[in-house]
Structure 1
Amino acid sequence: MNRRTFLHTTLAAGTLASLQIRGADKIGRKHRTALVGAGWWGGNILGEAMASGACEIVGICDVDQRQLDPTVEKVVKLSGDQPRKYRDFRELLAKEKPEVVIVATPDHWHALPTIAAVKAGAHVYVEKPTAHTIGESQAMVKAARTHQRVVQVGTHRRLAPHLIRARDFIRAGKAGQIGLIRCHLNLTGGGPEQALPTVPVPPELDWDFWCGPAPLRPFNGGDPRQPDQGAGNRGIHPRGHRMYLDYANGHLGDIGVHWFDQVLWITGEKAPRRVACTGGRPIKGAPILTAREQTSDAPDHQVAQFAFEQFTMTWEARTFGGNHAEKGEAAGTYFHGTKGTVHLGHKGGWRFYANEGGEPTFDAAQLNQPDAQSIRESWADFLDAIKTGRRPVSDIEEAHRSSVCSLLGMISYKVGRSVEWDAAKEQIVGDPAANQLLRREYRKGWEYPVG
């Protein structure tokens, strides 16, 4: 495969090539750049880093050789860079001394590499949510500020041109005073979840390191080199970790954080006062975890309510009955105001439904491929923040607040009651048991971060 074909098939050639030229003209010397987590989404981010023309890829780290090798091969074909391979991010940081680090690991591995990288002097682009627990996320903010590094989080919808226009529309008061914001996710599927058998760990995968500070569960995954079969009943690795609560926080921590981030970004609110979340697994069935087989343990539906000073935000998600009843999209956000309703879709743009009726105002989505995202704009903002010394649009502190919404929802779900949040102290009020869930014990050999 030649360079032009590779760009066209994996990185949307035309626009990315022009970005590469512009980036090279503006930057001159390239940033020494490394990737930690060479899976699907890490590849998307790395593609934009290379296309910017501002980055020399010097190292790639992954505990699964089946992801590491193909990613390195693609970098060599596309850019001519010769990144070295690593299985331990600490060795990568020590030997390569990168100036920019991309962290695109599962959630439970966001905090430690990010903190280590900023302490080593690198700027970081880390995927959302910021962390698996609120305490880890707090430590990430502290580290970024202490070491004065730029940390951009992958809440890239803040940079989508059509969503910026939606924000401006709402902020201008054209929907009136916003009193209720509804976020939803409705996916296809249904029926009991079938337990997957424990299988031998592939020789190319360091499963103990993959689990890292989280509990060591039996391996039930597949081969990342095989075509993806969808999210219905994946093993933990690759791409199934989000539904296993030892490593992520279900759909609330995956998709929910995108929608909550939009709400905070548009409204200017910082944190909810109270959070209540309920849900369960009546469709998927009770979780199974034995030495021989296991299922996921994330809920198959959740309903959460977030009380802010000026409005109420709700989250409703289900993994069954995905019939596109909500304006034809599986995910979206509704801003209900005194003059009408603004619907922000996932991939289909946004609409304003005025109280007076008539045809809704429509603004088409402006998203990039692959995977309908705005990483291109987010990466450009990240580089500009490094160049100018300003904070990026999806700064770690902003994304921390959005992640806190998701993580508080999961805490409420786990303890079975609402929780009151003191945003100034970043503590749960009057509930010691819930407060303990702001952190968790790490597995032996790993130390919980303090920033």
Structure 2
Amino acid sequence: MKRRKFFHITSVSVAGLGLAASCSNGKTPADTKRGGGQVIKEIPGYRKNVNSELPKDNQKSANDTVVLALIGAGAHGINLTLQAAKLNENIRFKYICDVDDTRGGLAISELKKMQGFEPVRTRDMRKVFDDKEIDGVIIATPGQWHALATVWACQAGKDVYVEKAISLSIHEGQQMALAAQKYGRVVQCGTQNRSAEYAFSARDYIKNGGLGDITAVHVRGLLNGPVPFNEKEDSAAPETIDWDMWLGPAPKVPYNLSRNKSWYYYWDYGVGLAMEDMSHQVDLARLVLGNPGLPKSVYCAGGRYFFNDNRETPDYQMATCDFGDYVMTLQAGECAPYMEKSGPGVRFTENFPEWGQNATRIEILGTKRMMYIGRMGGGWQVQDKGGEIVAQEPGLYSLAPHLKNYIDCIRTREQANGGIAEGHKSSVLIHLANLSYRAGNKQILFSPEYEAVLNDSKVQELAGRGYRKGFELPEV
């Protein structure tokens, strides 16, 4: 089988570092403003004056109603909304916001039964942000909206739950963290392993020397596949969707059903389906390792190996991240039908996965022993020579505790379990892997202190995003 690699590289030189919009046609729309590059030898703003305390002047008691809105009413957004509503924590959803009128109906009908009134349907999230009654928002849009919607929400005094992958560039994550600090807002990333009890016991086991010194960490995200993809022709947008608002900060292009429904295959809107899903494992790995800093170099290889189609993202890629004391590999793909995610029989029980063909396992190798750990339930097991299990703890699916933590933090003004600063650092690994791949499998030398690419102008150009006029990311 002939192997194919499709690299999506566009670049425009500007003063300082080159910044490139990730336009799928290789062109830069005239209404796209340059922004989001990386500045060498400048510590990111969110790390300069770290304040772990949020203002306490608007605390709420358990008797106070928390008023929320959903922004992005796809299947996952609806699931988050209904799970939150089932917490019985005196929560009310006032808005269901989506640019597509065909989405969100299930959430509206179910919420009407649960809370006694029907949420308002709106296409424009700015209506939500303008409403003084709204305490917080759940952002479950395609990826191009995550950063801007989060910053707008923080500026409007709203607390945020934002889905992964939380950003499309390193700069976006920095600005999201800075906005949370500047406006004193709770920002909970949708990396729910941060609310799993077994994740913290695994962290303590490693911290106390149970594995010895860490030498390697292998993070896997291997989805079922290979999956065929037939890109549709451009067409007129249906009347039921505001296509311009759907695109938001992304380059203006004609309506295309494939972009609309399979947006994760395009760099304009996502980080790749497999990498998107693997954001959970990367963040969990960082948590159990004690939230290490960032790598000093990253190298990624991969490609589109199975179909000669127009998908921009690879169907398999593997990155090697050098943390100095140990190596972390990220293995992501959608071409392994024999691999399986942990199902309900693991997630909602005290059973452990069959690690050998578990699609989302993390392996941590120490000088004494090794650990397997599963995401969203699955727990962890430590093995010695010969496969002897010497320590273990089962674990349960942690979405409900993660949503409850978000609601609790809206009331108490405490920092959330999945705070934006650590969520951003986890996303940096995803971005660096993709940058290395998109630049032609270039090794990236990276400054953990300045969060900047040091050695390659092409990668520096790709590291930025373009923002359409009216949808620029504020430099808060």
TM, length-normalised to structure 2:
0.79
C-alpha separation between the residues in 1 aligned to 2:395 and 2:233? 41
C-alpha separation between the residues in 1 aligned to 2:223 and 2:386? 32
Aligned counterpart, 1:318: 333
Letter in 2 for 1:379: L
The runs of 5 or more residues in structure 1 that have no matched partner are 1-24, 222-234, 289-295, 368-373
Deviations 1:143-195 (A, max 9, x none): 11001111111110121233333222222221221110001122332376433
Letter in 2 for 1:241: W
Aligned counterpart, 1:31: 66
Residue 294 of structure 2 is aligned to residue 271 of structure 1: yes
C-alpha separation between the residues in 2 aligned to 1:168 and 1:241? 39
Alignment of 1:36-435 (within 5 A): 36-52=71-87, 53-95=89-131, 97-190=133-226, 193-221=229-257, 235-238=258-261, 240-251=262-273, 253-268=275-290, 269-285=292-308, 287-288=309-310, 296-324=311-339, 327-346=356-375, 347-355=377-385, 357-359=387-389, 361-367=391-397, 374-416=398-440, 417-435=442-460
Q: Is the 8 A contact 1:59 1:84 kept in 2?
A: yes
Structure with more relative contact order (C-alpha pairs < 8 Å, separation 6 or more): 2
Deviations 1:25-71 (A, max 9, x none): 96101112111111111112212322232322111210011113332
C-alpha separation between the residues in 1 aligned to 2:224 and 2:410? 41
SS, match of residue 110 in structure 1 = helix
Q: How many residues align?
A: 399
Q: Is the 8 A contact 2:222 2:274 kept in 1?
A: no
Deviation at 1:76, TM superposition (A): 0.8
Q: Is the 8 A contact 2:81 2:107 kept in 1?
A: no
Deviation at 1:218, TM superposition (A): 4.4
Letter in 2 for 1:308: F
Higher alpha-carbon deviation: 180-189 or 108-117: 180-189
Letter in 1 for 2:372: H
Aligned counterpart, 1:437: 462
Q: Is the 8 A contact 1:136 1:449 kept in 2?
A: no
Q: Is the 8 A contact 2:135 2:410 kept in 1?
A: no
Q: Is the 8 A contact 2:194 2:418 kept in 1?
A: yes
SS, match of residue 164 in structure 2 = coil
C-alpha separation between the residues in 1 aligned to 2:273 and 2:329? 14
C-alpha separation between the residues in 2 aligned to 1:126 and 1:359? 37
Query: Could you say which structure has the higher helix fraction?
Result: 1
Aligned counterpart, 1:229: none
C-alpha separation between the residues in 2 aligned to 1:281 and 1:124? 35
Deviations 1:262-294 (A, max 9, x none): 122122202111111111112122x43xxxxxx
C-alpha separation between the residues in 1 aligned to 2:176 and 2:361? 29
Deviation at 1:96, TM superposition (A): 5.1
Aligned counterpart, 1:19: none
Higher alpha-carbon deviation: 353-362 or 440-449: 353-362
Aligned counterpart, 2:52: none
Q: Is the 8 A contact 1:65 1:204 kept in 2?
A: yes
C-alpha separation between the residues in 2 aligned to 1:159 and 1:194? 38
C-alpha separation between the residues in 1 aligned to 2:452 and 2:415? 25
Q: Assess, with a 3 A threshold, how the Cα gap between structure 1 residues 69 and 157 changes in structure 2: closer, same or farther.
A: same
Q: Assess, with a 3 A threshold, how the Cα gap between structure 1 residues 253 and 184 changes in structure 2: closer, same or farther.
A: closer
Q: Is the 8 A contact 1:329 1:348 kept in 2?
A: no
Higher alpha-carbon deviation: 436-445 or 54-63: 436-445
Please provide the CA RMSD for this pair.
Answer: 2.2
Q: Is the 8 A contact 1:100 1:123 kept in 2?
A: yes
SS, match of residue 226 in structure 2 = coil
Q: Assess, with a 3 A threshold, how the Cα gap between structure 1 residues 31 and 357 changes in structure 2: closer, same or farther.
A: closer
Deviation at 1:437, TM superposition (A): 2.6
Letter in 2 for 1:342: M
Deviation at 1:445, TM superposition (A): 3.3
Q: Is the 8 A contact 2:221 2:281 kept in 1?
A: no
Q: Assess, with a 3 A threshold, how the Cα gap between structure 1 residues 96 and 77 changes in structure 2: closer, same or farther.
A: farther
C-alpha separation between the residues in 2 aligned to 1:35 and 1:185? 28
SS, match of residue 412 in structure 1 = helix
C-alpha separation between the residues in 1 aligned to 2:395 and 2:236? 44
Q: Is the 8 A contact 1:252 1:410 kept in 2?
A: no
Deviation at 1:339, TM superposition (A): 1.7
Letter in 1 for 2:298: V
Q: Assess, with a 3 A threshold, how the Cα gap between structure 1 residues 354 and 98 changes in structure 2: closer, same or farther.
A: same
Q: Is the 8 A contact 1:252 1:409 kept in 2?
A: no
Letter in 1 for 2:406: F
Higher alpha-carbon deviation: 304-313 or 70-79: 70-79
C-alpha separation between the residues in 1 aligned to 2:447 and 2:389? 43
Letter in 2 for 1:364: P
SS, match of residue 410 in structure 1 = helix
Q: Assess, with a 3 A threshold, how the Cα gap between structure 1 residues 218 and 343 changes in structure 2: closer, same or farther.
A: farther
SS, match of residue 406 in structure 2 = helix
Q: Percent identity?
A: 32
SS, match of residue 413 in structure 1 = helix
Ranges of 4+ aligned residues in structure 1 off by more than 6 Å = none
SS, match of residue 438 in structure 2 = helix
Letter in 1 for 2:403: W
Q: Assess, with a 3 A threshold, how the Cα gap between structure 1 residues 218 and 282 changes in structure 2: closer, same or farther.
A: farther
Letter in 2 for 1:384: D
Q: Assess, with a 3 A threshold, how the Cα gap between structure 1 residues 83 and 357 changes in structure 2: closer, same or farther.
A: closer
Aligned counterpart, 2:56: none
